[in-house]
Chain A
Amino acid sequence: MKKLILTAAVLAFGMGMASAQTIRLGTEGAYPPYNFINDSGEVDGFERELGDEMCRRAELDCAWVTTDWDSIIPNLVSGNYDTIMAGMSITPEREQVIAFTQNYLPPVPSAYIGLSEEVELEGGIVAAQTGTIHAGHVAQTGATLLEYATPDETIAAVRNGEADAALADKDFLAPFVAESGGELVWVGEDVVLGEGIGVGLRQSDTELRETLDGVITAMKEDGSLNAMIRKWFGEEAQTYE
């Protein structure tokens, strides 16, 4: 079907298609419900739906690429793909290396989980994914930071007692807590980190940045972004005014 449309398009626009560029969207694929690889092996989640919709509105050809979280920024700046949509919060440190669009998710609370509510957060051992705002925050609190390559491993570390608690986005942790049958519980207060989640781009890619910024503004105004947020993060999720 896709091929048919493509062929039709080529016929319609002559060789104009040859210069049409494909935008490659990079993601991690290990952070449900933001982005994950579903059981048929495809990228799925909130960011998949949002990215596809943004590409449709901007009339861009898009393809999804997965990569390790560790190398997600180096691979972007060396040109392996053109954007990062991987639940990446906008922070001043990252803005020194890459550019961001305006946020497509407002700053969301992060939360600690542990095996009991009495866990010591300040002096204890806290697990977080390496290179995230959560890891940065734990390092500042005075707790001992245990870093893992994937968010899933931070939860496994809490379960097997290597860490007293784990810090991550609350929306990511919520299903794990709900489905653990009381094994995992929320610990302490929620914290709000970062300036929301935006699309990461190369600093030299100003044109694409303006395009995507425009699409996000339009989606915020017509309410379609809010609808998408409610679909993936529940009715109580924080939305745009």
Chain B
Amino acid sequence: MFAQCADPASLEGLAWLMCYLTSGKHMLFYASFGTVLLLLAITAPIALLFGFGGALASRSRIAPLRWFGKLYTSMVRGVPDIIFFLFVPIALDQGLEWLRHQVLCDTDAPVRQGNDFVVCAAAKLPLSSSPPWVHDVYGFTLAVVAFSVVFGAFAANVLHGAMQAVPRAQLETAEAFGMSPRQVSRRVLIPQMWTYAVPGLSNLWMILIKATPLLFLLGVEDIVYWARELGGTKTSAFTYPHPDWRLYYFLAILVFYLLMTWVSERILGRLTRRLSAGQATMGGEALRKGPA
């Protein structure tokens, strides 16, 4: 990074630390914070969408759709997250490669040969010859899918409950105005349910933030991976030898997560206030009366 960092062995104190903290490996560590934030930014809307679909499906009047919605929420909610995180990416990866194998390969060789899962070179996903970033993006995408499916199921349950909580009288009024069931859903039910959904959804958001270290399980090099890697004892085989510093690295991660949840809590608190305005709930009533 800096010119004086060319020979770290000659440095001491603050200068050494500056060079150490700007080494290539640390840059990867800092970038992994971006990976975590990106995961949150992509997963949250997709999971909400899954949840919305799941909630609407489990309220549907079409029986198979309703069964599907119920099955999705109860199955995913009933399986431990970690098992799901281990299962989904592997199953998805091998399933896709198997499909590509059937289409793209002209061999009769079975996919399973003894212990090995073998597909022809053209069916590999991503191709062996693709650059490393393609492999990274692919792994990251599988992680997003796994997170979205799991958190979507929980969101579906929250949204389903919120839809049930909208006072029947409001829907009846809409019907009395001559709105069709579809219009009632779109104009009254969905806008009104958010005030009931936000507490549950904000819980889910907090859990999602705290679940991001599971990325490490999926082989994505996230902040936990780098903290462990950087913190371990480094002998003189490395440019910057140091004793076991894992404590400090994990402390930094701890602060990061506390900050994330603290900021989220404040934003969600504001959102709850805004959505409560004009509602026939305790929160709405308190807002109407103003500060006592």
Contact = CB atoms under 8 A, between A and B. Distances in A.
A40 B24 contact: yes
Nearest to A71: B219
Secondary structure at the B interface, as helix, strand, loop or mixed, is loop
B100 to A, nearest CB: 12
B10 interface: no
A142 B78 CA distance: 41
Contact of B233 (A39, A98, A155, A205): A155
Nearest to A155: B233
A32 B237 contact: yes
B74 to A, nearest CB: 30
B114 interface: yes
B117 interface: yes
Given A21-B121, A22-B129, A203 B114 contact: yes
Nearest to B139: A80
Interface string A151-185: 01101100100000000000000011001000000
B223 to A, nearest CB: 14
Contact of A79 (B119, B236, B239): B119
B226 to A, nearest CB: 9
24 contacts: A23-B128, A29-B229, A32-B235, A38-B238, A38-B239, A39-B239, A40-B23, A41-B23, A41-B24, A41-B25, A45-B237, A65-B135, A68-B219, A78-B90, A78-B117, A79-B97, A79-B119, A82-B128, A152-B232, A152-B233, A202-B116, A202-B118, A203-B114, A204-B116
Most chain-A CB neighbours within 10 Å: which of B116, B118, B241? B116
Interface residues of A, number: 44
Contacts of A97: 115
Interface of B: 23-25, 27-28, 90, 93-94, 97, 113-119, 121, 124, 127-129, 132, 135, 219, 228-229, 232-233, 235-241, 244, 246
A34 B135 CA distance: 25
A138 interface: no
Contacts of A104: none
Given A41-B27, A63-B132, 6 more contacts: A30-B232, A32-B238, A39-B239, A40-B25, A61-B129, A205-B116
Please give me the 10 A-B residue pairs with the lowest Cβ-Cβ distance, nearest first. Answer: A40-B24, A175-B235, A152-B232, A22-B129, A39-B239, A22-B128, A32-B237, A41-B25, A41-B24, A39-B23
A33 interface: yes
A36 B24 contact: no
A30 B229 contact: yes
Interface string A6-30: 0000000000000111111000011
Nearest to A175: B235
Most chain-A CB neighbours within 10 Å: which of B27, B117, B119, B128? B128
Secondary structure at the A interface, as helix, strand, loop or mixed, is loop
A176 B116 contact: no
B227 to A, nearest CB: 12
A40 B23 CA distance: 6
Interface string A67-82: 1100100010111001
Interface of A: 19-24, 29-30, 32-33, 36-42, 45, 61, 63, 65, 67-68, 71, 75, 77-79, 82, 97-98, 150, 152-153, 155-156, 159, 175-176, 179, 202-205
A177 to B, nearest CB: 10
Most chain-B CB neighbours within 10 Å: which of A40, A78, A79, A153? A79
A204 B114 contact: yes
Nearest to B240: A39
B24 A39 contact: yes
A29 B238 CA distance: 13
A208 B22 CA distance: 40
Contacts of B90: 78
Nearest to B24: A40
A82 B244 CA distance: 33
B113 A204 contact: yes
B194 to A, nearest CB: 41
B219 A37 contact: no
Contacts of B228: 150
Nearest to A23: B128
Most chain-A CB neighbours within 10 Å: which of B114, B127, B233? B233
Given A23-B128, A32-B235, A40-B24, A77 B115 contact: yes
